[in-house]
Amino acid sequence: MDQGLFAFDNSYARLPERFFAHQEPTPVAAPRLLRLNTLLASELELDSAALKTADGVNVFAGNHLPQGASPLSMAYAGHQFGNWVPQLGDGRAVLLGEVIDRHGQRRDIQLKGAGPTPYSRMGDGRAAIGPVLREYIVSEAMAAMAVPTTRALAAVSTGEAVFRERVLPGAILTRVATSHIRVGTFQFFAARQDIAGLGQLADHVIARHYPEAAAAAQPYLAMFETILNRQAHLIARWMAIGFIHGVMNTDNMSIAGETIDYGPCAFMDVFHPETVFSSIDRDGRYAYINQPGIGQWNLACLAQSLLPLLDPSEDVAVAAIKDILDTFPQRFEAAYRREMGAKLGLTNAPAGGKEDAEGDMNLIRDWLQALADNHVDFSLAHRHLGSLDITSDVAKDAAFLALFNEPETVAEWLPAWRQRLAAEASSDSQRQANMMAVNALYIPRNHLVEEAIAAAENDDFGPFDELCEVLSRPFEAQPGRERFAEPPTAEQVVTQTFCGT
């Protein structure tokens, strides 16, 4: 038996019955462990050796319910591409329970692809190996870049086929999240005018994630403000690494401020603000440059849902929460300027206040414009910039300028950048080290992810494992692994990604 595989303490399962459906995973034919995240396991105080045994693998496959689990599928609603859907819910996910990690943080352990649930609608409740490995690779790469994200604890194949456009091997991801509560969870109760449920959900979120809000004059407003702040910072992080979520529906926005739901997400190679990869995002609603605006739109949906908790007078409630909602653009911009500034080596907070901040924003804007005009690789451009000295060195500058089709465009920008660097107290070597520590050399480039998935579909997991290894140290040059840093060749460029559900 699995004596003590997980020390579960399941707070969500103690909420009222209408918050979820009791749901056990559906067993699969032939589970096989594809990868176990042993570092994450130890962070969660789990025993990796035990998790690798048949008992452990059977848990990840949904064939064995571990002791202490209270399996359930969560109810939620959401706006999908702006359209209201009153009932979504976990259509293929089962929350096994919660554990307390090494830092005292409560974490959800969820199986994704564990079979049908009452929320499956037309779906089969399953996941194909491609999307499972993709989520494993990208979510762990995000974590290695210190971006708040759900994590991947394990991937198993099921030995069963799933039927999409093609017949594909089935798989299950064990996902770990600070919680799986979404904007859409609040919308679910608000839309039903279930004010008691809404209040219980908000109280649960405050107790679990934002206990400091409990002491505020208006705890629900304080909770909203913290969620908004987290999202502003999260989206600024995405922008700074060239990440496009691809499906920022309100049911895919975490209340805990983590990146969640890796469907058709992608990292940009060549920089362009309008970039869209998702095959289902036909109007570019979730294009790279639209992400902050969509974040605010989703937060407006959350604000709307919270109104009944704020004040008996709707006018009073709207006025109070709108004041906070309206701070999103400036909070985002401040976070964005810090993130992008650090990428350019601008670590000093501008001394003179507004005017200097504007100067930095202009510098960032002109830099990105030069990248876009010249179709330059976003990640490599920052990496190369980080090797330049404050005084022009002809050979180094030439190597950098070679990235640009029309080097004149950036030759004008470089002196302005160098002038701004003069206000930094750091030496060349300090600044270069700082820039290398925030500008990743290795990102989960689409062509590498697809290469790993294609091999896995043919039962070769070597490329998947190697890609995971490379991406676990994204900032460090790894000799012999140069090809993982390179942009795609013309033949390798991926123009579309699919959520594959």
How far, in Å, CA of 79 to CA of 91, rounded? Answer: 16
**Residues 314-343, interacting with ligand AMP (CB under 6 A):** none
Q: Which residue is nearest to Mg ion (CB)?
A: 261
Nearer to Mg ion, 21 or 357 (CB): 21
What does the block give as tokens for 219? 């705890």
**What is the distance of C-alpha 499 from the center of its chain?**
15
User: What is the sign, positive or negative, of the torsion defined by CA atoms of 419, 423, 428, 431?
Assistant: negative
| Contact partner at residue 125 from Mg ion, ligand AMP, none, CB < 5 to 8 Å by partner kind | ligand AMP
Q: Is residue 135 involved in binding Mg ion (CB under 5 A)? A: no
User: In the complex with ligand AMP, which residue's Cβ is closer, 25 or 89?
Assistant: 89
DSSP label at 488? P
- Asked if 26 touches ligand AMP (CB under 6 A), the answer is no
Report the distance separating Cα 303 and Cα 320, nearest Å: 10
Question: Closest distance between Mg ion and the C-beta of residue 73, in Å?
Answer: 12
The one-letter code for the residue type at 176 is V
Residue 94 or 270: which CB sits closer to ligand AMP?
94
What is the distance, to the nearest Å, from the Cα of residue 138 to the centroid of all Cα atoms in its chain? 8
Question: Which residue's CB is nearer to ligand AMP, number 76 or number 332?
Answer: 76
Give the distance, in angstroms, between the CA of residue 362 and the centroid of all CA atoms in the same chain. 28
User: How many of the chain's residues bind ligand AMP (CB under 6 A)?
Assistant: 18
Least Å distance between CB 171 and Mg ion? 17
CB of 259 to Mg ion, least distance (A): 12
Using the rule CB under 6 A, is 263 a contact of ligand AMP?
Answer: yes
Locate 69 and state its tokens.
Answer: 């689990």
Choices 60-68, 245-253, 275-283, 325-333; region in contact with Mg ion by CB under 5 A: 245-253
Amino acid symbol at 444: P
**Of the residues 247, 253, 310, 448, which one makes contact with ligand AMP according to CB under 6 A:** 247
Residue 261: CB minimum distance to Mg ion, A: 4
Calpha distance 373→362 (Å, rounded): 16
Q: What does the DSSP 8-state code read for residue 269?
A: S
* Whole-angstrom distance, CA of residue 134 vs CA of residue 400: 32
- The residue of the chain with the least Cβ separation from ligand AMP equals 123
Report the distance separating Cα 171 and Cα 127, nearest Å.
6
Give the span between the Cα atoms of 483 and 477, in whole angstroms: 11
The nearer residue to ligand AMP, 35 or 92, going by C-beta atoms, is 92
Binding of residue 446 to Mg ion (CB under 5 A): no
Q: What is the dihedral of CA 278, 284, 286, 287, to 10 degrees?
A: 90
CB 7 within 8 Å of CB 45: yes
For residue 326, indicate whether it is catalytic.
Answer: no
Q: Which of 2, 90, 108, 251 is catalytic?
A: 251
The encoded tokens of residue 94 equal: 């089962």
Half-sphere exposure of 42 (CA within 13 A, CB side): 3
Binding map of Mg ion across residues 152-191, x = CB under 5 A, - = no contact: ----------------------------------------
Contacts of 167 (CB under 8 A, 6+ apart): 161
State the nearest-atom distance from the C-beta of 253 to ligand AMP, in Å: 10
Pick 150 or 226: Cβ nearer ligand AMP: 150
Adjacent-strand bridge partners of 173:
112, 155
The stretch near ligand AMP (CB under 6 A) out of 7-15, 245-253, 376-384, 490-498 is 245-253
Residue 200 sits in the site that holds ligand AMP (CB under 6 A): no
Give 261 or 269: the residue with its C-beta nearer to ligand AMP.
261
User: Which C-beta is closer to ligand AMP: that of 251 or that of 360?
Assistant: 251
Cα dist from 448 to 34, 114, 136, 171, whole Å: 18, 27, 13, 20
Q: How far is the CB of 254 from ligand AMP (least distance, A)?
A: 12
Interaction with Mg ion in 250-279: which residues (CB under 5 A)? 252, 261
Q: Smallest Cα–Cα separation from 152: which of 20, 264, 262, 5?
A: 262
Determine, following the binding rule CB under 6 A, whether residue 252 of this chain makes contact with ligand AMP. yes
- Residues 98-127 close enough to bind ligand AMP by CB under 6 A: 119-120, 123-126
Catalytic center residues: 251
Return residues touching Mg ion (CB under 5 A): 252, 261
* Binding residues for ligand AMP (CB under 6 A): 88-92, 119-120, 123-126, 247, 251-252, 261, 263, 499, 501
